[in-house]
Amino acid sequence: MSVDQVYCGGEFDCIVVGAGHAGCEAAHAVARMGLSVALLTQSMEAIALMPCNPSVGGPAKGHVVAEIDALGGLMGYAADMSFVQMRTLNTGKGPAVQALRAQTDKRLYQQVVRELLERTPNLRIIQASVVEILVESGVARGVRTHTGTIYRAEAVVVTTGTYMESTVIVGASIIASGPNGLMPSHGLAANLRALGFRLGRLKTGTPPRIHRRSIHFDRMEEQRGDASYTRFSRRSSRFAPEQMSCWLTYTTAATHEIIRSNLHRSPLYAGLIAGRGPRYCPSIEDKVVRFADKERHQIFLEPEGYSTEEVYVQGFSTSLPEDVQVMMLRSVIGLEQAEMMRAGYAIEYDFVDPTQLTLALESKLYAGLFFAGQINGSSGYEEAAGQGLWAGINAGAKVRGLPPFVLLRSEAYLGVLVDDLVTKGTSEPYRLMTSRAEHRLLLRFDNAESRLLPKGVEVGVVPERELVRLREDEAGIRQWVEYLERRKVSPEEAVNRHLASVFSSPIEHNTAAAALLRRPEITWERLSVIVPELSEVALHLAQRVSIEVKYAGYIARQCEAVELFQRLELKAIPNGVRYSEMRGLSLEAREKLERVQPRSYGQASRISGVSPADIAMLMVHLERR
């Protein structure tokens, strides 16, 4: 081969750039659809790396993991097979915000994901750094790597996370680096700009890591895992380790004083950091400045895994100089002798403005080119993984000539996530929260499979047999709901003694078990004492039946609200509408509608700067057309 000939490393149906949380899900989804996929990533040692906190799940994030699992994805299974602690959060609150969170062994998590990917037919992992997207007449055709090798495909999914032109900042030190000292990605950002994409700069940060032996746990509050716990995935039952604890401690007045007296050395406050950081994950220096009235801030110590002494200092994200970090750490209760293993740092990176994407996460500029994960301006493993799965399914659908796969805001947190990003865009790392969902009582952790698994079978990412199992589960749930309405509890002395013991009023007549369950103080476990057959019901079914009975009224009302919502949401707007020519709409609305090209009135109504009056006028224009 002559020097000027280009070596083609292979032809695939799809190429995924980057094996972070988004890339792994995207590649696995495409392979599950029976298509060939190449997963190109800078370092195979960084596959599914968790550069920040060791946890998966929690409110909204846990819901997304359950949705990813219902669509046959990896994250839920991998977390179930690598957790050091499992806890259901918000058990004192309603079912809409209750969610599972796993503290994981980061290395084991990576190993589980890597093994799954390496054993997946149709999926090839290749270590390479992509520097260019190959396009021909408006269509993505493949990629070029740093060695000059090209790979061809009908669809390309870019998931480069926090690596594009990334710089790591600690005090006055600013170096070109990815997370954990890994190589940044050079060249691709410039190529995307040359292709016409708008890019921005964002920032996120991480706390120091300390050695376990240097911690005085006796001065802290232990946080144990749940004794009995559900899992993210029905496919993972074997892994049941002895759980590790997390520990709660606090900053002190000394910590705050050290921070205040060194703010002039903070790159954040010295203006060395240009990128916007995550509002809901502020650095400790930000917390001390913004919440100056607070005497102390909570700090959680989270083990990074079984086979490491490294401990993650949650709530202590910082980019202050190392000497200051050590002083700050040693002013925290129980960390007086802390040994810092890794300093906290801030990382800045390039991202792509997501309003340049359709609801399929496909670019509007080049057909067959998709973006997913932190590159779209989101923050979080779960948000990235969810987008990766979504983009992977859509890349597969594109190759197969199938219609785009889109979930509505009323169907999934994934729908809320993608719609928010591509419709509203973001100027800071976007983090998913339950408050972002209008219909969260329907988007619960426990019913993710019922909502999404059938759609997964439809697009070919979930095997048909799973549907059979789901239908059996759902039949079981219906039967138990009906049974509890029929099953009478008689006002025996033992029954009323038990009700009194849980501060619930006695019954005087035969009462339906469901009516008792609807009492706020009566849980499934408490009802099982007087309706013993309930203790036979599997945990995941019991949870579901309990919610369906207790919240039946609220759920019915939310279903009505969804019907109303879907009327606008399903009212489609044709492609290629020339909004700039529409008189009667505000100038801002015309500009924004032109840029976003919404596919429905519902989506149009969520674009910031588009008023209800604009929507009404738009309807008139399009009806007339």
Binding footprint of ligand FAD on the chain (CB under 6 A): 17-23, 40-43, 46, 51-52, 129-130, 159-163, 179, 185, 188, 204-206, 281, 347, 373-374, 379-381, 384
One DSSP character per residue, 380-442 reads: SHHHHHHHHHHHHHHHHHHHHTPPP----TTT-HHHHHHHIIIII--SS-B---GGG-TTTTT
Q: How far is the CB of 457 from ligand FAD (least distance, A)?
A: 26
Cβ–Cβ under 8 Å, residues 122 and 28: no
Q: How far is the CB of 340 from ligand FAD (least distance, A)?
A: 16
Phi, psi of 10 (to 5 degrees): 155, 160
Question: Tokens 């964002």, residue?
Answer: 202
Alpha-carbon span 448 to 70, nearest angstrom: 6
What's the gap between Cα 196 and its chain centre?
A: 28
Beta-strand ranges (E) seen in 1-112 are: 8-17, 37-41, 55-57, 83-89, 99-104
Q: How far is the CB of 143 from ligand FAD (least distance, A)?
A: 8
Alpha-carbon span 609 to 590, nearest angstrom: 9
Alpha-carbon span 429 to 62, nearest angstrom: 18
Alpha-carbon span 299 to 277, nearest angstrom: 20
Q: How far is the CB of 349 from ligand FAD (least distance, A)?
A: 8
41/98 with CB nearer ligand FAD: 41
23/334 with CB nearer ligand FAD: 23
Q: How far is the CB of 429 from ligand FAD (least distance, A)?
A: 7
Phi, psi of 37 (to 5 degrees): -145, 140
Pair of tokens at residue 444? 């619960």
Q: How many CB atoms lie within 10 A of CB 455?
A: 17
379/410 with CB nearer ligand FAD: 379
Burial category of 558 from C-beta neighbours within 10 Å (exposed 0-12, middle 13-18, buried 19 and up): buried
Q: How far is the CB of 299 from ligand FAD (least distance, A)?
A: 14
Question: Of 510, 504, 513, 447, nearest to 481 (Cα)?
Answer: 513
Question: Tokens 């790979």, residue?
Answer: 151
Pair of tokens at residue 611? 């008023």
What's the gap between Cα 69 and its chain centre?
A: 12
Alpha-carbon span 492 to 5, nearest angstrom: 88
Q: How far is the CB of 98 from ligand FAD (least distance, A)?
A: 20
Q: How many CB atoms lie within 10 A of CB 536?
A: 8
54/380 with CB nearer ligand FAD: 380
Q: Which residues pair with 101 in a beta bridge?
A: 57, 87
Alpha-carbon span 225 to 200, nearest angstrom: 40
3-state helix, strand, coil in the chain (%, to 5): 40, 20, 40
CA dist list (Å): 85 to 74, 171, 218: 19, 34, 20
52/155 with CB nearer ligand FAD: 52
41/558 with CB nearer ligand FAD: 41
Q: How far is the CB of 466 from ligand FAD (least distance, A)?
A: 25
72/386 with CB nearer ligand FAD: 386
Number of helices (H), then strands (E), in the chain: 20, 22
Q: Which residues pair with 134 in a beta bridge?
A: 142
Q: Which helix (H) or strand (E) holds 488?
A: strand 488-489
83/579 with CB nearer ligand FAD: 83
373/456 with CB nearer ligand FAD: 373
23/95 with CB nearer ligand FAD: 23
Cβ–Cβ under 8 Å, residues 393 and 461: yes
Q: How many CB atoms lie within 10 A of CB 17?
A: 28
